[in-house]
A and B are shown apart, each in its own frame.
Chain A
Amino acid sequence: MTSTVLRSLNQALHSMMEEDDRVYMVGEDLLDPYGGAFKVTRGLSMAFPDRVWTTPISEAGFVGVATGMALRGLRPVVEIMFGDFLTLACDQLVNHAAKFSWMYAEKVEVPLVVRAPMGGRRGYGPTHSQSLEKHFLGVPGLAVVAVDPFGSPGDLLRQAVADRRPLLFVENKVMYARRVRAVQAGRMGAFSVRETAGPYPTLTLSLGEFLGGDATVVAYGGMAELAVEAAEELLIEEERVVEVVIPRQLHPLDVEPVVESVGRTGRLVVCEEGSGAAGFGAEVVAAVSGRALEALQAAPRRVAALPVPIGNAPTLEAATLPGTGEISSAVRAVIGPARPLYSIG
């Protein structure tokens, strides 16, 4: 059955609240009939009126409240209406939720999930379009997971709610409407798929049956779908074989699948929708260089947003955020002009 990412996440929340009365929703404008700005929580307040708390416009305050709830055995799931507003809750995440378990010598746990819709391409302008997760990568004690349309987004959210660590769950706004592409018996359409073990499996997609390839593209969240599109186009139009590695847990990052893929391709492109400096791409490139420098046959490339705020005008926004064109160009750049084996005609 086809489903959208939105539907998959919404159904997961419904079933979790049904199964576990410790699960609470906390955030702005969550009540039906509105059901949350992007409708991920639609229907929940009708079904579970006592456990869906619509809040004042107080991101720091309600992330703190949810942290307190998590400390005392509940399983709060916070929605930040726009991920851009996470900055308001930064102190709560960095100096409270992320620190408590370690700082208090593991006497407590903070099983907190903060869901944050990130990303642009919807014309919302500079403060409602960003992908700010890079600022939360590498905070000791704070896990960061990003969902994508592949496999089961709802299952990923279930894992996050079951997780006993405080966790930032990054969703991409454009992705909500996308069809979920199931992974079955190691395949997703024309791609062969490998998945790592664990609650947040990294996917590696190959259009060449993992027998080798021209480049590895690492992309998460909303960029994952664009990377897959770029890989499809590069195969069809230029006979380039690209492997796409899609991590779900961005921090701490399991770099092993990337190292393995680069071992087959020798070339690396890392994508993120946010600005690039000191970002996810920098971390992946550093980690791969440290692990498998000898496998790299060319300098890795990063694909990221321009270092400017995201303009409202469609022309400005499109020019600022990376798309499939930028991914394909980066792949061509790392492959270089002359690669006889796969060159066209």
Chain B
Amino acid sequence: MDGGSSEFVGPRQRWLASEGSTAERLYGQMWLIREFEERLLSLFEEGVLTGTTHACIGQEADCVGVINHLETGDVIFSNHRCHGHFLAYADRPEWLAAEIMGRGAGLVGGRGGSQHICYEDFFSNGVQGGIVPVATGIAMAEKARGTGRIVCVFLGDGTLGQGVVYEALNMASLWSAPILFVVEDNRWAQSTPVEKELSGSMVARGEAFGVASSEITSTDAEEIYGHFEGIVAAVRKTGRPHLGVIHTYRLCHHSKSDDMRPEEEVEARRALDPVPLLRSRLDEERASAIEAAVQKRLEEAFSWALDQPHPAAETLRDPLSTS
């Protein structure tokens, strides 16, 4: 489980090598993400985990709908709500669990925790907006190096409040950066509803910079997967940026237990929960088998992670030290 020596296989290659119908494969990935988050939240409630975490419950369809189109070597820059993106990218719940638990065997040795991870070509950081120009620079570097790789950066409706996002959109368009900006509009920036934090149109923000822009209102993983297939292909083919807005909903609290949203609103949105939505299209037996397999994996992953030691304080050294 802690191998790490095998060659990394990117999401698209893993997708193509996996078995089952599109719906079954997407469901397996979403169930992994959902169950991972639920287990995490339970561990917080039990006091096993401390600190904070941002679950993506309700937004799993975005993760799988976009990321399964990314090739080995393509880059993802994610944000504070990154677990689902990472799991869709790398399918390594044990390393993410260990990281969040602050274990030395975690993705970055317990240094980053929930919001600050790095694995292969996947990065995340916890400051809103700042990752967007960095991702743009990565795209420009890949273009300069002629690798043909593209970059996918995830932001949310709340992040659209950051000015640096627009600086990045401007430069990405000016310089033709091969980057996909995915805006997961989950309607709430922490405790603030979108109507109190955002004026105007989301797609028009991209269009104003000459960035091809699209939007989809959906929690249907198959629909989102189909929607982004052409978009990812276009970014790769044209080398131009695209802003893809997904209007979705966060079914869980912002971080751990800070949900002040109207109960009736959240309840109404449960009808659009992407997980049962997709499950309803699967054969019951297949769905149960997928779930059981995921449960077993997660059982092992969390149990392995809990067994890993915390990093030793003696390993701390000044990163600027050249000796």
Q: Would A58 and B170 count as touching, CB distance under 8 A?
A: yes
Assuming A104-B123, A108-B118, A252-B321, is B167 touching A71 (CB within 8 A)?
no
Q: Mark interface residues in A105-118 (1 if CB within 8 Å of B CB, else 0).
A: 10110000000000
B164's partner among A64, A103, A141, A142 (CB-CB below 8 A) is A64
B142 within 8 A of A: yes
| Chain A interface, number of residues (Cβ within 8 angstroms) | 42
Q: Would B109 and A105 count as touching, CB distance under 8 A?
A: yes
A187 within 8 A of B: no
CA distance A61 to B318 in the complex (A): 27
CA distance A95 to B80 in the complex (A): 13
Q: Would B318 and A71 count as touching, CB distance under 8 A?
A: no
For residue A92, which residues in chain B have a CB less than 8 angstroms away from its CB? 130, 133-134, 164
CA distance A71 to B140 in the complex (A): 11
- Greatest chain A CB density within 10 A among B116, B167, B171, B320 is at B320
CA distance A105 to B139 in the complex (A): 22
Q: Would B145 and A103 count as touching, CB distance under 8 A?
A: no
A251 within 8 A of B: yes
A96 within 8 A of B: yes
Q: Which residues of chain B (271-323) have a CB below 8 Å from chain A?
A: 318-322
Assuming A72-B141, A104-B112, is B135 touching A60 (CB within 8 A)?
no
- Greatest chain B CB density within 10 A among A104, A140, A198 is at A104
Q: Mark interface residues in A294-334 (1 if CB within 8 Å of B CB, else 0).
A: 00000000000000000000000000000000000000000
Least Cβ–Cβ distance between A22 and chain B, in angstroms: 9
Closest chain B residue, CB of each to CB of A142: B320
| Chain B interface, number of residues (Cβ within 8 angstroms) | 40
A66 within 8 A of B: yes
Q: Would A91 and B320 count as touching, CB distance under 8 A?
A: no
CA distance A92 to B135 in the complex (A): 12
Q: Mark interface residues in B211-222 (1 if CB within 8 Å of A CB, else 0).
A: 000000000000
Q: Would B130 and A96 count as touching, CB distance under 8 A?
A: yes
A342 within 8 A of B: no
A345 within 8 A of B: no
For residue B137, which residues in chain A have a CB less than 8 angstroms away from its CB? 64-72, 76
For residue A67, which residues in chain B have a CB less than 8 angstroms away from its CB? 133-134, 137
For residue B132, which residues in chain A have a CB less than 8 angstroms away from its CB? 64
For residue A100, which residues in chain B have a CB less than 8 angstroms away from its CB? 118, 123
For residue A99, which residues in chain B have a CB less than 8 angstroms away from its CB? 116, 125
Q: Would A64 and B134 count as touching, CB distance under 8 A?
A: yes
A105's partner among B118, B127, B134, B142 (CB-CB below 8 A) is B118
For residue B175, which residues in chain A have a CB less than 8 angstroms away from its CB? 53
Q: Would A56 and B142 count as touching, CB distance under 8 A?
A: no
CA distance A239 to B74 in the complex (A): 67
CA distance A252 to B320 in the complex (A): 7
B131 within 8 A of A: yes
Assuming A62-B133, A252-B318, is B170 touching A56 (CB within 8 A)?
yes
CA distance A142 to B319 in the complex (A): 9
Closest chain A residue, CB of each to CB of B153: A68
Q: Mark interface residues in B131-157 (1 if CB within 8 Å of A CB, else 0).
A: 111111111111011000000000000
Q: Would A140 and B319 count as touching, CB distance under 8 A?
A: yes
CA distance A66 to B171 in the complex (A): 12
B262 within 8 A of A: no
CA distance A60 to B130 in the complex (A): 8
CA distance A60 to B170 in the complex (A): 13
Closest chain B residue, CB of each to CB of A56: B170
Q: Mark interface residues in B96-117 (1 if CB within 8 Å of A CB, else 0).
A: 0000000000011101100011
B163 within 8 A of A: yes
Q: Which residues of chain B (169-191) have a CB below 8 Å from chain A?
A: 170-171, 174-175
Q: Would B127 and A58 count as touching, CB distance under 8 A?
A: no
For residue B171, which residues in chain A have a CB less than 8 angstroms away from its CB? 55-56, 58, 61-62, 65
B40 within 8 A of A: no
A33 within 8 A of B: no
Assuming A58-B170, A140-B319, is B164 touching A105 (CB within 8 A)?
no
Q: Would A65 and B140 count as touching, CB distance under 8 A?
A: yes
Q: Would B108 and A105 count as touching, CB distance under 8 A?
A: yes
Q: Would A68 and B133 count as touching, CB distance under 8 A?
A: yes
Q: Would A141 and B319 count as touching, CB distance under 8 A?
A: yes
B224 within 8 A of A: no
For residue A103, which residues in chain B have a CB less than 8 angstroms away from its CB? 108, 111-112, 116, 118, 125
Q: Mark interface residues in A246-277 (1 if CB within 8 Å of B CB, else 0).
A: 00000110000000000000000000000000
B26 within 8 A of A: no
Q: Mark interface residues in A61-101 (1 if CB within 8 Å of B CB, else 0).
A: 11111111111111010000000000000011001100111
For residue B144, which residues in chain A have a CB less than 8 angstroms away from its CB? 24, 69, 74
For residue A71, which residues in chain B have a CB less than 8 angstroms away from its CB? 123, 134, 137-138, 141
Q: Would A60 and B116 count as touching, CB distance under 8 A?
A: no
Least Cβ–Cβ distance between B107 and chain A, in angstroms: 8
Q: Would B118 and A65 count as touching, CB distance under 8 A?
A: no
The 5 lowest CB-CB distance pairs between A and B, nearest first, are: A68-B137, A64-B133, A61-B167, A104-B118, A65-B137
What are 16 A-B pairs with beta-carbon distances under 8 A? A24-B144, A67-B134, A68-B133, A68-B134, A68-B137, A68-B140, A69-B141, A71-B134, A72-B145, A91-B130, A96-B125, A99-B125, A105-B108, A140-B318, A141-B319, A165-B319
Beyond A69-B140, A74-B144, A104-B123, list 17 extra A-B contacts (CB 8 Å).
A55-B171, A56-B174, A58-B164, A58-B167, A58-B170, A61-B136, A62-B133, A64-B134, A64-B136, A68-B133, A91-B130, A91-B164, A92-B164, A96-B134, A104-B112, A107-B108, A142-B320
Residues of A within 8 A of B (CB): 24, 53, 55-56, 58, 60-74, 76, 91-92, 95-96, 99-105, 107-108, 140-143, 165, 198, 251-252
